Structure 1
Amino acid sequence: MAFNATLETNNDTATITLSGELDASTAPQFKAEVEKAATQGAKRLVLMMQDLEYMASAGLRVLIFTKQKMGASADIYVVGAQEMVLDTINKTGFNQGVIIQDEYSPL
């Protein structure tokens, strides 16, 4: 399945919907969307991962970059991640730096 990352911004919340396989060849597309969200001043980043089938280490590097780019005060939500993707996030300990949810409801 082809990778896709789309960004929507609403007030101070940026939502990136990810689908397909996130690997070394597709990570730059994800990183570009993160950079756009950060330059738009988002304080909350919601990563919709229901349709993300696979995430390689390159995807994790972008998640680490995301945390740095958004700043320590920004909240990053990982929403609806499939078991394989969630397992990768948990095994690396990155689950400590994000908020993992099955569903996202704006405050």
Structure 2
Amino acid sequence: MAELTIQITSTGEIPVMGLSGELDAYHAPRVKAELEELLASGKKTVVVNLKRVAYIDSTGLGVLVAARKQVLDAGGALLLVILSESAVQRTFTITGLLGVFSIFEEEAAALDAAAS
């Protein structure tokens, strides 16, 4: 099992959660806790960069779906950065979630969309 690292940076008012490794049942609770902490601090819009995630399972997807609902309810947005042709993108495609999330290939594009 590959370790998951979480790095949170901020560009202006928009936090960016960069993940690296595997977002699976073992690591998903950490991601959930970090997202909840960001939202509890008043952040309404969050960018989650999954470009360095090699694998995501249903638990990881569930964390992102729940966070998306929470930010939408607060009037914000959850934007994802995913490489095209990656295993993560294939998982989103297979599950039908590709059209549910706002997905970008570059973090800068996600931040631009979040700011507008």
TM-score by length of 1: 0.86
Counting helix residues as a fraction of each chain, which structure ranks higher?
2
2:68 aligned residue:
67
Q: How many correspondences in the alignment?
A: 107
Could you list the runs of 4 or more consecutive aligned residues of structure 1 that deviate by over 2 angstroms after TM superposition? Answer: 6-12
> What secondary structure is seen at the aligned counterpart in 1 of 2:34?
helix
Distance between the aligned counterparts of 2:25 and 2:103, measured in 1? 23
Q: Percent identity?
A: 27
Q: How does 1:40-79 map to 2 (within 5 A)?
A: 40-72=41-73, 73-79=75-81
Structure 1 Cα separation of the partners of residues 12 and 40 of structure 2 = 13
Separation in 1, partners of 2:36, 2:80:
17
Conservation of the 8 A alpha-carbon contact between 1:47 and 1:76: yes
User: Are 2:104 and 1:97 aligned?
Assistant: no
SS at match of 2:63: helix
Cα distance in 2 for partners of 1:57, 1:37 equals 22
Q: Match of 1:96, SS?
A: coil
Contact 1:6–1:33 under 8 Å retained in 2: no
Residue by residue over 1:41-62, the C-alpha shift from the partner in whole angstroms, topping out at 9 and shown as x without a partner, is 2232111111100001110110
CA distance in structure 2 between the aligned counterparts of 1:63 and 1:81, rounded to whole angstroms: 17
The amino acid across from 1:91 in the alignment is I
| Partners of 1:37 and 1:96 in 2: CA distance | 25
Shift of 1:10: 4.3
Q: List runs of 5+ in structure 2 lacking aligned partners.
A: none
- Gap regions ≥5 residues in structure 1: none
